[in-house]
């Protein structure tokens, strides 16, 4: 992670009729980091994500991507900028009438202008990066398990080689093993591809395992954005209940135990060598 903010949200407000979701919200996303976004029901986590990627026009404020004001750009320039973003939607949002390979190839055909054959060949690479077996490309979404849908959707979000990856509840509905595998895959991709990640999640294991920082939405703004250890100590009732409740304590304890085991394995290997 660097000190370069590649996404800057300033004074963001989102209002829907009489309902105000965000008011004067500020947030930065730094190059190379994995940022977890959490908050209670109705705090507008997905709305914030959609506002940043251009799917929701905020009522007020500014969203700057790579130093440019997204909302002020002409349509063509805005479209080119948005192609530097990859989005994994909650539920996958795969086209049911297309195979997995065709789903991943579609943005390469529409936005990169590749032929179908070239796009599908590159789609195979993206599917492999996402950890899917070669035969999965021939399957339709209805034939996929929950974990396979997540990975297929991840492959599609990586199709255009984005700089920033947006994930909306990526481990929701997965069993603990599948969720843990996805976390490790995310870390591998971040390190290998230099991705920056904005992740909306409720998964405490994911927050402790993969996130460099956590941003908490509350009172229509970002209440705190900091390293997980510091956020967990923030003097707010919701934060304390979330991170210090039974599940929060269990997730943190599991992380600590894994760290101890990994350190022991590394030390043993050094001694043998």
pTM over 0.75: yes
Please tell me the predicted confidence (pLDDT) of residue 79. 86
Residue 246 Cα distances to 40, 174, 204, angstroms: 17, 20, 11
**Per-residue model confidence as pLDDT tens digits over 7-27:** 999 999 999 999 999 999 999
Query: 2-6: long-range contacts (C-beta < 8 A, 24 or more apart)?
Result: 2/30, 2/31, 2/32, 3/30, 4/30, 4/31, 5/29, 5/30, 5/31, 6/30, 6/31, 6/65, 6/66, 6/163, 6/164, 6/196
Task: Kindly state the percentage of the chain with pLDDT values over 90.
Answer: 74
Please tell me the predicted confidence (pLDDT) of residue 82. 87
- For residue 261, pLDDT over 60 is answered with no
For 179, phi and psi rounded to 5 degrees? -65, -40
Please tell me the predicted confidence (pLDDT) of residue 260. 46
Residue-range domains of the chain with CATH: 1-84+162-232 (3.40.50.300), 94-161 (no CATH)
**Per-residue model confidence as pLDDT tens digits over 154-170:** 999 999 999 999 999 99
Confidence of residue 49 (pLDDT cuts 50, 70, 90): very high
**Per-residue model confidence as pLDDT tens digits over 62-119:** 999 999 998 888 988 888 888 899 999 888 889 999 999 999 999 999 988 999 999 9
Q: Using N-to-C axis directions, what is the helix angle for 237-244 and 246-272, rounded to 10°?
A: 50
**Per-residue model confidence as pLDDT tens digits over 165-216:** 999 999 988 889 999 999 999 999 999 999 999 999 999 999 999 999 999 9
């Amino acid at each position: 992670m660097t000190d370069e903010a590649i996404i800057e949200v300033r004074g963001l407000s989102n209002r829907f009729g009489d309902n105000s979701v965000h008011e004067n919200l500020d947030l930065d996303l730094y190059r190379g980091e994995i940022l977890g976004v959490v908050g209670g029901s109705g705090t507008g986590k997905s709305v914030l994500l959609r506002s940043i990627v251009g799917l929701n026009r905020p009522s007020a404020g500014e969203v700057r991507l790579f130093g440019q004001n997204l909302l002020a750009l002409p349509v063509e320039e805005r479209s080119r900028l948005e192609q530097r973003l990859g989005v994994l939607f909650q539920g996958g949002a795969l086209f049911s009438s297309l195979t997995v390979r065709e789903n991943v190839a579609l943005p390469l055909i529409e936005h990169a202008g590749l032929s179908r054959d070239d796009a599908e060949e590159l789609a195979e690479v993206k599917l492999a990066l996402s950890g899917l077996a070669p035969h999965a490309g021939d399957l339709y979404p209805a034939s996929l398990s929950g974990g396979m849908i997540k990975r297929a959707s991840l492959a599609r979000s990586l199709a255009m080689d984005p700089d920033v990856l947006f994930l909306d509840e990526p481990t929701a509905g997965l069993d603990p093993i599948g969720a843990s595998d996805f976390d490790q895959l995310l870390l591998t991709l971040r390190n290998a591809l230099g991705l920056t990640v904005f992740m909306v999640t409720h998964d405490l294991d994911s927050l402790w395992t993969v996130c460099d920082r956590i941003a908490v939405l509350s009172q229509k703004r970002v209440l705190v954005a900091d390293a997980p250890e510091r956020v967990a100590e923030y003097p707010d009732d919701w934060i304390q209940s979330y991170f210090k409740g039974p599940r929060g304590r269990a997730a943190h304890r599991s992380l600590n135990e894994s760290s101890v085991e990994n350190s022991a394995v590394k030390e043993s290997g050094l001694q043998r060598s």
